[in-house]
Each structure stands twice: as structure tokens, then as C-alpha cells.
């Protein structure tokens, strides 16, 4: 069996689990995308936002137009909340070991991120927590296909694995408001925190 066939077989075995009210799809949907709503309580979200406001030095990261990004590893251990959520995700079976990298993105109102695929060396699972504002994440296999859209609310955690992680591109449209299933959601300033399990040599 070639590596490509082996990967295809493994990816196809990943299931998709998104509450129907949170997904808009005209055709196929990405296998291996999971959405766990209310994964972090409102009090937990406030604590994280407060911690970020008081501890994060964005100047060591990068600014891309209306969003800024920074790594939390390599300049110190993961913060307590990052470690606690990482341990929970390991215990609940989403990761094979406790994730060792945390990446923060702060979006200004209307901010987004272009379609992309995370680098292969970033490991088989990307876990993303939405904070501060709702936003829609979109997935595409081919440029001409209409995207599959998933509505994310603060406190939700998504997991990209299998095909969703390796075969589909994902992005967040730049927009002041998301229209989703006939409702309008204002895009205010917000953040995401993403966890990855990197080989030690890459985790700084
Ligand atoms: O803010 C988000 O949840 C998207 C992050 C993202 O696209 C990524 O980390 O690859």
C-alpha cells in the first residue's frame, strides 16, 4: 500500500460531528471536523481573556492587517489555563499526548484569515477555541466549490483531524457580520486559541 493510499484510508475513517444547526453545506462535508459547543464556560472564557490582556506581549508576534498572532511556547511554559485545557483534551482522547503548543490570534472587528492548510509538521490535530465574538469558519476542497460553513460561538472548541485537517483548506472570511441560517451575527473584536502537539524539536 502506498503512503498516499494509506493516508486516504486513515483520513476516511475520521468521523465528522457538528450540531446540524451550526453547519451550512451544499455538498460533501469535511471528514474529521468536530465541534464541541460550550467547551469552556463563560467564566473560564473571561479568565482567559483577562489573562491574555495582562500577560501577552503581542509585539513578539506578527501583525497581519486587522489581526495579530503570537506563539505561547518557546518563551516560557504554556500558561496554567492552556495546560489545563490541553490535559483535558488529552484525557478526553482528542490528542495522543498533552499538546505542547498554543497559538493566539486576535481579530479586530471584521478581521479574518485567508484560506490555508496548516503545515504538515504541526501534527494531526488542530484544536481551536473561539473567544470574544462569534465567527464563521469556512472549508473548501476545490477553489470553485461553495464553502462549507460552520458557525463558532465563544466557548466552542473545534478539532480538525483527518481530511478536514490535511485535504481541505480552511479560512475565516473578512466581514463585519456573518449571515448564517437566516440570522446575522455581528463580528466584534475577538480571539482564538489553538493547541497543537508538535515534535519537541519544533515546539519553540
Ligand atoms: O481563529 C481560528 O479559529 C482559525 C485559526 C486557524 O485558521 C489556524 O490556526 O490554522
Question: What is the reported pLDDT for 153?
Answer: 98
- Looking at residue 201, its pLDDT comes to 54
Is residue 181 in a domain? yes
Q: Max alpha carbon distance in the chain (Å)? A: 52
User: Best of 66, 106, 113, 196 to mutate for ligand 1, by most ligand atoms within 8 A of CB?
Assistant: 113
> Is position 71 within any domain?
yes
> Is 166 inside any structural domain?
yes
Atom number in ligand 1 closest to CA 118: 10
Q: Which atom of ligand 1 is nearest to the CA of 192?
A: 1
Residue 5 lies in a domain: no
Domain that holds residue 190: 33-199
How many angstroms separate the CA atoms of 140 and 163, rounded?
11
Please tell me the predicted confidence (pLDDT) of residue 202.
58
In degrees and rounded to multiples of 5, residue 84 shows phi and psi of -65, -45
The answer to the question of residue 21 being in a domain is: no
- What is the Cα–Cα distance from 149 to 18, expressed in whole angstroms? 11
Is residue 20 one of the residues assigned to a domain?
Answer: no
Where residue 92 sits, what CATH number does that domain have? 2.60.120.590
pLDDT tens track for 55-104: 887 766 677 777 777 766 544 589 999 999 999 999 999 999 999 999 99
Burial-class residue 107 by CB neighbours within 10 Å (0-12, 13-18, 19+): buried
* The predicted structure's pLDDT at residue 69: 72
Q: Are 72 and 78 in contact (CB under 8 A)?
A: yes
The atom of ligand 1 lying closest to the CA of 158 is 3
Q: What is the pLDDT of residue 189?
A: 94
Q: Please name the residue whose Cα sits nearest to atom 1 of ligand 1.
A: 192
Residue 193 in domain? yes
Assign 3-class secondary structure to the chain. Answer: CCHHHHHHHHHHCCCCECCHHHEECCCCCCCCEEEECCCCCHHHHHHHHHHHHHHCCHHHCEEECCEEEEECCCCCCCCHHHHHHHHHHHHCCCCCCCCCEEEEEEECCCCCEEEECCCHHHCCCEEEEEECCCEEEEEECCCCCCCEEEEECCCCEEEECHHHHHCCEEEECCCCEEEECCEEEECCCEEEEEEECCCHHHCC
Pick out the chain residues at pLDDT < 50: 74-75
pLDDT of residue 76: 58
Gap from CA of 187 to ligand 1 centroid (Å): 16
Residues in the ligand 1 pocket, defined by CB under 6 Å: 105, 113, 118, 126, 128, 170, 172, 192, 194
Residue 139 lies in a domain: yes
Which atom of ligand 1 lies at the shortest distance from residue 105's CA? 1
Name the domain count of the chain: 1
Residue 7's pLDDT is what? 64
Instruction: From 128, 190, 193, give the residue whose CB has the most ligand 1 atoms within 8 Å, as the site to mutate.
Output: 128
Atom 10 (ligand 1): residue with closest C-alpha?
118
Q: CA-to-CA distance for 143 and 133, rounded, in angstroms? A: 27
Amino acid at each position: 500500500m502506498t503512503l498516499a493510499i494509506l493516508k486516504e484510508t486513515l483520513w476516511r475513517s475520521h468521523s465528522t460531528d457538528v450540531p446540524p444547526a451550526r453547519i451550512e453545506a451544499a455538498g460533501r462535508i469535511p471528514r474529521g471536523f468536530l465541534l464541541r459547543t460550550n467547551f469552556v464556560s463563560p467564566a473560564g472564557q473571561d479568565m482567559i481573556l483577562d489573562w491574555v490582556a495582562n500577560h501577552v506581549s503581542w509585539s513578539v508576534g506578527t501583525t497581519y492587517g486587522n489581526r495579530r498572532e503570537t506563539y505561547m511556547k518557546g518563551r516560557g511554559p504554556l500558561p496554567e489555563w492552556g495546560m489545563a485545557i490541553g490535559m483535558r483534551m488529552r484525557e478526553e482522547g482528542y490528542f495522543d499526548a498533552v499538546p505542547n503548543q498554543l497559538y493566539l490570534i486576535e481579530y479586530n472587528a471584521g478581521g479574518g484569515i485567508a484560506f490555508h492548510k496548516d503545515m504538515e509538521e504541526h501534527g494531526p490535530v488542530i484544536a481551536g477555541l473561539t473567544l470574544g465574538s462569534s465567527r464563521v469558519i469556512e472549508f473548501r476542497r476545490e477553489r470553485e466549490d461553495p464553502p462549507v460553513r460552520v458557525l463558532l460561538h465563544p466557548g466552542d472548541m473545534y478539532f480538525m483531524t483527518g481530511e478536514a485537517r490535511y485535504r481541505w483548506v480552511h479560512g475565516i472570511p473578512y466581514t463585519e457580520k456573518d449571515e448564517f441560517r437566516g440570522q446575522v451575527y455581528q463580528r466584534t473584536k475577538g480571539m482564538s486559541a489553538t493547541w497543537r502537539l508538535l515534535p519537541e524539536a519544533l515546539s519553540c
